[in-house]
Each structure stands twice: as C-alpha cells, then as structure tokens.
Amino acid sequence: MSSSSEPGLYECMSTLRAVRRLRPDPIPAEVLERVLQAACWSPTGGNQQPWRIVVVQDDAGKQGLQDIYLPLWQDYVVGFLDRIKDTPPDEKAQWHKVADSGNYLADNLHQAPAILVFCANPAFMAITDAGLDRPSMVGGGSVYPAVQNAMLACVAEGLGCTLTTLHCRNESAVQELLDIPTEWATVAMVPIGYPVLGGHGPISRKPPADMAFADRFGQEWPG
C-alpha cells in the first residue's frame, strides 16, 4: 500500500479506544491476515519474536474463554464499582458506562468472531528487570508492541477490539482449553469484530504536558 491510500498512523492512534460491543459477523480472511501481519512486524528483544497468537474462531474455544472470563469479570467489577463510588457525578457516570460495556463484553465474549490470545515464552527473553524488588515488566516489552500493532491494524480495518488481561487470574484454565504448553504465558486476550455501535473514535487521554518531564522526573515539560 502507498502512504496516500492506507489509513494514517496518527489517525489510527488517536482513535484507538476500547470497543467492547462486537457484532458476530465473520471477519474476512484477508482482513484478519493484515491484523496478524501487523502484529508480526513488531520489534522484539534480539528479534526473538518470543510470542505467538492463538486465533480462536471455533465455538467451543470461544465459549470456553467466555466461561473463564465471565466470573473473573464479575468478581473484578465489584471492586471497580466500589472504587468509583465516591468520584464526582460526571466522572462516575463515565465509569459506569465503562462498567456497562465491560458487562456486555463479559456476557457476549463468545459472540465475537475472533479472539486473539497472545502467548509469550520467557525462555526466549532477556528479562533485565527480573531480579528487582518490584513487579517485573520488561518481558512485556517483547509482546505488547505486537498487541498494540494488532489493535492499531484493527482501527485501520474498521474492527473493534480491546486489550484484556483478566484471564491471567485463571491462566491454567486458558492453557488447558487452548492446548497452550505451560511454558507459554497468556499475556493478552483481544476480542475483535465489527462494532455494534460507533467503533473507534475520540479518546480521553492526558497530554504530553501531563505525561512528559524535561530532563529530570518532575520537571515541567514545556510542550
């Protein structure tokens, strides 16, 4: 594709939001292939590509994932609603919309035409923060860029998607369901499909003035 005919980079980035209401309509094979190709282009430490995607499209697999996900979501949303109960009314209304769409996803996950389960094998990674006295994150550096590429491609292709990780709380069930060897971690579950509502669109994010610092942490970024 030439740069004049394909979707613009910044346009895709600035409209990538969680789309949790997905139509069951099938995704054409060539569209899905472009999403997977986008993931494959991502950089990884030492170019090891230490991740794989299980593209779950069969009914038994999707229903199995929904059976695993729903109770985890139901448990999670209780705490979520508790944490937001004292936020200002406007903000609370927004969070309730998020909870509603999360409820919808949890109830209808099996209806998505495809669920991408990203796996990653730490044996093929140099996890430089493994020995530190904090949660390790560096392993994610060789798989979440692939997830992000796939999700940006979804925007370009008109597909809704959202990154979920709650299934990790019952990872062994996911591994058993999808024949994933125990040495492969399951680090992201991304249901994709054509959106029921508007799909991707405006997002609410803090700007560089709030997220960047000049030279030292805490030093205002002039922007």
Q: Looking at residues 63 to 122 of the shown chain, list those that interact with a copy of itself (rule: CB under 8 A).
A: 76, 80, 119-120, 122
Looking at the Cβ atoms of 78 and 132, the one nearer to a copy of itself is 132
According to CB under 8 A, which one of 4, 86, 90, 220 is a site residue for a copy of itself?
4
In 3D, which of 102, 69, 25, 41 has the Cα closest to residue 170? 69
Q: Write the binding mask 153 to 172 for a copy of itself: x where contact by CB under 8 A, - elsewhere.
A: x--x------x-xxxxx-x-
What's the Rg (C-alpha) of the chain? 18
Which 23-42 residues touch a copy of itself, going by CB under 8 A?
A: 29, 33-34, 36-42
150, amino acid identity? A
According to CB under 8 A, which one of 23, 52, 77, 111 is a site residue for a copy of itself?
52
Which 182-211 residues touch a copy of itself, going by CB under 8 A?
A: 184-185, 187-188, 203-208, 211
According to CB under 8 A, which one of 147, 159, 160, 191 is a site residue for a copy of itself?
147
222, amino acid identity? P
Q: Residues 143, 118: contact at Cβ < 8 Å?
A: yes
53, amino acid identity? I
In whole angstroms, the minimum distance from the beta carbon of 66 to a copy of itself comes to: 15
Looking at the Cβ atoms of 47 and 89, the one nearer to a copy of itself is 47
How many residues bind a copy of itself (CB under 8 A)? The answer is 104
In whole angstroms, the minimum distance from the beta carbon of 189 to a copy of itself comes to: 11
In whole angstroms, the minimum distance from the beta carbon of 221 to a copy of itself comes to: 7
Looking at the Cβ atoms of 89 and 208, the one nearer to a copy of itself is 208
Question: What 3 state SS string does 64-114 have?
Answer: HHHHHHHHHHHHHHHHHHHHHCCCCHHHHHHHHHHHHHHHHHHHHHHHCCE
Q: Kindly give, in sequence order, each residue whose CB lies less than 8 Å from that of residue 178, ignoring residues fewer than 6 positions away.
A: 54, 56, 61, 64, 117
Q: Residues 81, 14: contact at Cβ < 8 Å?
A: no
Q: Kindly give, in sequence order, each residue whose CB lies less than 8 Å from that of residue 201, ignoring residues fewer than 6 positions away.
A: 15, 17
Q: Residues 118, 147: contact at Cβ < 8 Å?
A: yes
According to CB under 8 A, which one of 25, 82, 86, 216 is a site residue for a copy of itself?
216
According to CB under 8 A, which one of 25, 88, 89, 181 is a site residue for a copy of itself?
181
